[in-house]
Amino acid sequence: MAKLLELNNVWAGYGDATVLEDISFSLDPGASLALLGRNGMGKSTLLATLMAAARQTRGSIRFDGRDLTLVPSHRRAQAGLGWVPQERDIFASLSVEENLTVVARSGPWSLKKVYATFPRLKERRANMGNQLSGGEQQMLAMGRALMINPRLLLLDEPLEGLAPLIAQELLGVITCMVRDGSMAVILVEQHAQQILPITRQAIVLERGGIVHQGMSEELAANPGLLDRWLGVAAH
C-alpha cells in the first residue's frame, strides 16, 4: 500500500529558531496517530509544519506521493489536509452555517452530515462565530475542517479547556471518525490515556525530536515509558 504521508529528516521552526529536528515517520491511508509529549516539545509545530504555517528548513514532506515542501497552506488544504489548530481560527463575523459552507468541497462530509454529527451546530446555525461557547467553537472548527473532506485530519488538542461533558462528546466523535477509517487522523493531546485507546500508532516528542515511535496499544501498556516521557502513567 502506498503511504499517504511521508516525512523524511524534517527540520522546522519559526524564523531563525529551530523547533523540530530530524523528524521521520509515515502514515497509511486511514491510519491514526497519537502525537504525544510534554508542553513545548514541538507537537503543535509539527502540525503547523505539515500545513506550511511553520518554516521547514530541511528534509521532505510527501502527501499522496506529492512533494509538499514548496506548496503553500491553501494548496495543502485543497490536496486533502484538514487542520484544527488550538486557536480554532473560526470566522467570528460569519454565521455557523457560513463558516461551514465557505470552505466546503464535495465528498461524504456534507452540511447535513456535519449537523448530524454536531446537533448543537444545527441549533446555532444562524449565530455568529463569536456568539458560541468554547465547546461550540471547537465543534465548529472540527466541522469546518471536515467540510473540506480531508484525507488527513490534524487535530491539535481538541479537548483542551472544554467542560468534561463536552470533551467526552467530542472524544466520542473523534473515536467514530478514527474507527471509520475513511481518512487518516493525527491527534495531539496532553492526556495520553484518552487517545492511546482510540489510535493505532503513537509518537512521543521530546525537545523537538522523536524519542518513541510504535503501536499505541504497546505504549498504553507500558506505564514506565509513559512516566518517563510524559510524566504520567496510564489510568
CATH of the domain at 63: 3.40.50.300
Q: Report yes or no on whether pTM surpasses 0.85.
A: yes
What pLDDT does residue 175 have?
A: 96
How many whole angstroms separate alpha carbon 224 and alpha carbon 131? Answer: 44
Q: How many CB atoms lie within 10 A of CB 141?
A: 23
Q: Is the pLDDT assigned to residue 234 strictly greater than 50?
A: no
The mean-pLDDT minimum among 119-128, 139-148, 171-180, 220-229 falls in: 220-229
CB distance 185 to 158 below 8 Å = no
CB proximity list for 118: less than 8 A, separation 6 or greater? 139, 140, 142, 143, 173
Q: Is the pLDDT assigned to residue 233 strictly greater than 80?
A: no
143 falls within a domain: no
12 falls within a domain: yes
Q: Which residue range(s) make up the domain with 63?
A: 1-80+185-235
168 falls within a domain: no
5 falls within a domain: yes
H or E stretch covering 62: strand 55-63
7 falls within a domain: yes
58 falls within a domain: yes
H or E stretch covering 65: none
The number of domains in the chain is 1
195 falls within a domain: yes
199 falls within a domain: yes
Q: Is the pLDDT assigned to residue 224 strictly greater than 80?
A: yes
